[in-house]
Amino acid sequence: MSQDYYILKTLNLKDENIHFYEEYVKEEIIKGKRCLVFQGYLTYIPEYCPKCGVCYNDSIEKHGFKKSLIRIPSVSKIATFLSLNKQRYICHNCNKTFTCTSNIVNYGCNISNNTKHSIAVDLMKKKSEKDIAIDNNVSPNTVERVIDSYYQLNNKVYKNSLPEVLSFDEFKSVKSADGAMSFQMCNGKTGKIIDIVEDRKLNNLMKYFSRYSRNARSNVKAIVIDMYTPYISLIKKMFPNALIIIDKFHLVELISRSLNKTRIKIMKKSKENYNKLKRYWKNILKSRSELNCSSWKKYPCFKELTTEQDIVDYLVSIDIEFEETYQVYQDLLYAIQNNNIQVLESTLNMKYNNISEYMITSIKTLKSYAIYIKNTFNTGFHNGYVEGNNNFIKVLKRIAFGFRSFTRFKARIMICKGLINIKEKEVKNC
Ligand SMILES: [Zn+2]
């Protein structure tokens, strides 16, 4: 095997028309940085003139070289270039010149396709665009162009099919989105993101879903949502066969928020119990069955030996409003955790004299969503995956120090989540 073969193999360049000079690599300073520059030339005999189509034998002649400096992936973490002399030809038939071309780099571009692919692979990692640019020895603009080119190439959402179970949720997005919130839709069974929409306003989502075929929409059997009213009108209009399911996590969150607000209100009123109420907030939110009632220990802020359950009992007994609110909270929590619709309905419909205004609001909300909560209890679908996706998006955004353009943010999420395929062959001009 020749020296050319091994160098091409090492540099992962798949073009046998590239040959290397005897002194095939030099160290040079380019833009103040130490770089490796491989020295090669590209030549082959063209079959015909690309300008006029005349055959080689007739009137084509060699016409010197054209030099180009191509960025290739780093070797041993040192920025690496390929200085390539490309054979030029002149055609006497049309009196025009042309240059040999190679598949390692696109026409008119000096960044090799391998580099672009390496950028794309980096884009799948939780890494900022700036770091990717530094690691690949390119400018941040190049990284952005690679993102855009993959996105334009592969952003195909199939409008003719949708899974049986969908999850809707929103996430904190770029500033330009309405209320800085964007919409995401996932497969409710696998958690795979299907698409992301910048604006979660009702008419905008209506427009978006009207692009899906009627068949695809009527195939959807259930949709898990949080308590955001526009989603309900959206589903009723666009998904004729879908069951509306309220996510369990959001139900628990709603009632625990109102209990917590009540606790803070009582805390501010009662100076002597301030520290205790502050320290044991987690125990107050816990389900009663999870509290320990048998192991007696010394707890901070309490003089005598006591148990978790006794602590909570003491704290809620401080105030009648707090006590009654706590009872309602526990009943609702029990109903939600055990899918018990009877307990839920009786708790919601009971008359209360002393519960806090926060809990009253929550009860009102739950009452208005009661028919959908029944579906929650009966089906067991939840939005757990979506919350996982949201966390991932948050991390990605923090690493990137925020995104300015929604499209690029979306493209990055789609690439990281493997929804946009990064294939070596598909590197297009960018
Ligand atoms: Zn010609």
DSSP 219-261: T--EEEE-S-HHHHHHHHHH-TTPEEEE-HHHHHHHHHHHHHH
Q: What is the mean pLDDT of each run of 10 residues along the chain (430 residues)?
A: 90 94 93 94 91 80 93 93 95 90 90 92 89 92 89 76 91 78 89 88 91 92 92 93 93 94 91 89 92 88 89 91 94 94 93 92 94 91 85 86 84 86 60
Give 72 Cα–ligand 1 centroid separation in angstroms.
Answer: 32
Give 64 Cα–ligand 1 centroid separation in angstroms.
Answer: 17
The DSSP H or E segment spanning 218 is helix 214-218
Give 425 Cα–ligand 1 centroid separation in angstroms.
Answer: 30
Fill in the amino acid letter for 106.
N
Give 89 Cα–ligand 1 centroid separation in angstroms.
Answer: 10
Give 316 Cα–ligand 1 centroid separation in angstroms.
Answer: 92
Burial of 68 (0-12, 13-18, 19+ CB in 10 A): middle
Give the phi and the psi of residue 224 in degrees, each rounded to 5. -95, 130
Look at residues 270, 358, 256 and name the one whose alpha carbon lies nearest to residue 319.
Answer: 270
Cα–Cα distance list, 86 to 1, 64, 66, 309, 384 (Å)? 23, 9, 5, 81, 56
Mapped onto helix, strand or coil, the DSSP state of residue 361 is helix
Token pair belonging to 397: 């955004």
3-state DSSP: the chain helix, strand, coil percent, rounded to 5? 45, 20, 35
Token pair belonging to 334: 């029990």
pLDDT at 234: 94
Give 97 Cα–ligand 1 centroid separation in angstroms.
Answer: 8
Give 52 Cα–ligand 1 centroid separation in angstroms.
Answer: 4
Would you give the DSSP letter of residue 170? E
Would you give the DSSP letter of residue 372? H
Give 60 Cα–ligand 1 centroid separation in angstroms.
Answer: 8
Chain segment 175-187, per-residue pLDDT in tens: 777 667 889 999 9
Give 90 Cα–ligand 1 centroid separation in angstroms.
Answer: 8
Give the integer Cα–Cα distance in Å for 426 and 227. Answer: 42
Give 100 Cα–ligand 1 centroid separation in angstroms.
Answer: 14
Give the integer Cα–Cα distance in Å for 169 and 227. Answer: 10
Give 18 Cα–ligand 1 centroid separation in angstroms.
Answer: 24
Give 95 Cα–ligand 1 centroid separation in angstroms.
Answer: 6
Give 57 Cα–ligand 1 centroid separation in angstroms.
Answer: 12
Give the integer Cα–Cα distance in Å for 242 and 240. Answer: 6
- The maximal CA–CA distance of the chain, rounded, in angstroms, is 106
pLDDT at 65: 95
Give 365 Cα–ligand 1 centroid separation in angstroms.
Answer: 77
Give 55 Cα–ligand 1 centroid separation in angstroms.
Answer: 9
pLDDT at 429: 55
Give 48 Cα–ligand 1 centroid separation in angstroms.
Answer: 8
Give 427 Cα–ligand 1 centroid separation in angstroms.
Answer: 30
Is the pTM here over 0.75, yes or no? Answer: yes
Give 68 Cα–ligand 1 centroid separation in angstroms.
Answer: 23
pLDDT at 388: 84
